[in-house]
Amino acid sequence: QQQVKQSPQSLIVQKGGISIINCAYENTAFDYFPWYQQFPGKGPALLIAIRPDVSEKKEGRFTISFNKSAKQFSLHIMDSQPGDSATYFCAASLWMDSSYKLIFGSGTRLLVRP
Amino acid sequence: NAGVTQTPKFRVLKTGQSMTLLCAQDMNHEYMYWYRQDPGMGLRLIHYSVGEGTTAKGEVPDGYNVSRLKKQNFLLGLESAAPSQTSVYFCASGLLAGHTDTQYFGPGTRLTVL
């Protein structure tokens, strides 16, 4: 119930295309859904996040769509660029053992071809 | 500000050897975390700390110990390394326990246990 399932495992997109990464969860106690971006050899860094009372959040070319009833959320990267090539992790925040924890998805490796 | 730093960047151990990974943050954050990252499994929480002098177990704590003697430092120890502990280890820190709190990650330590 504490899992966050992420797909696809890898994704190849042409420059200018749309990249879509999907995540699903079961535990309705999750109350915050961030996406982290990780470049090779670096640590993950927060990219964009959404609260469950909002259905969509957009920051530049990055958009999170959130479907509370389906318990699914997705990251859309519009006009994908080679510089977007990275691993993307969805996550969900949960109050557990007297503190908030982040439960991460398994990651999606995105390659944007020139 | 250096943010979150980790020492060492790479290490090779033989089975049964011990070592300590050091994490330091200069952002005055209360919360610190140790994760391990394995292919196809995302980031899994090993141990965490909600303040100086405190530690708690995460999702995969077996075989690891931690200490937080100073607010800015969080140490991860492997007393008797096993090949199953081959992984990339990330330290992270956060200001508050709030569910919208951003976790800031270090660059990682790649550990190989032979």
Q: Which residues of B touch A97 (CB under 8 A)?
A: 56
Nearest to B105 among A32, A45, A49 (CB): A45
At A99 the three-state DSSP class reads strand
Tens of pLDDT, residue by residue over B73-83, are: 999 999 999 99
Q: pLDDT exceeding 70 applies to what percent of chain B?
A: 96
Q: Are B93 and B31 in contact (CB under 8 A)?
A: yes
**What pLDDT does residue B89 have?**
98
CB atoms within 10 A of CB A69: 5
d(CA B85, CA A80): 36
B14 touches A: beta carbon within 8 Å? no
d(CA B44, CA B60): 7
Looking at A1-114, which runs of residues are DSSP E strands? 4-7, 10-14, 19-25, 33-38, 45-50, 56-59, 62-67, 72-77, 86-96, 99-104, 108-113
Nearest to A44 among B97, B99, B105 (CB): B105
**What pLDDT does residue A97 have?**
77
B40 touches A: beta carbon within 8 Å? yes
Q: Would you give per-residue pLDDT tens digits along chain A (114 residues)? A: 679 999 999 999 999 999 999 999 999 989 899 999 999 999 999 999 999 899 999 999 999 999 999 999 999 999 999 999 999 999 999 887 778 889 999 999 999 999
Q: What percent of the residues of chain A are helix, what percent strand, and what percent coil, each to the nearest 5?
A: 5, 60, 40
**What pLDDT does residue A96 have?**
79
A10 touches B: beta carbon within 8 Å? no
**What pLDDT does residue B100 have?**
74
At B38 the three-state DSSP class reads strand
Tens of pLDDT, residue by residue over B21-31, are: 999 999 999 99
Tens of pLDDT, residue by residue over B39-53, are: 888 999 999 999 999
Q: Which of A48-52, B13-17, B40-44, B99-103 is predicted with the least confidence, judged by mean pLDDT?
A: B99-103
Q: Which residues of B touch A99 (CB under 8 A)?
A: 31, 48, 50, 56, 97
A51, closest residue in chain B (CA to CA): B100
Confidence band of B98 (pLDDT split at 50, 70, 90): low
**What pLDDT does residue A94 have?**
85
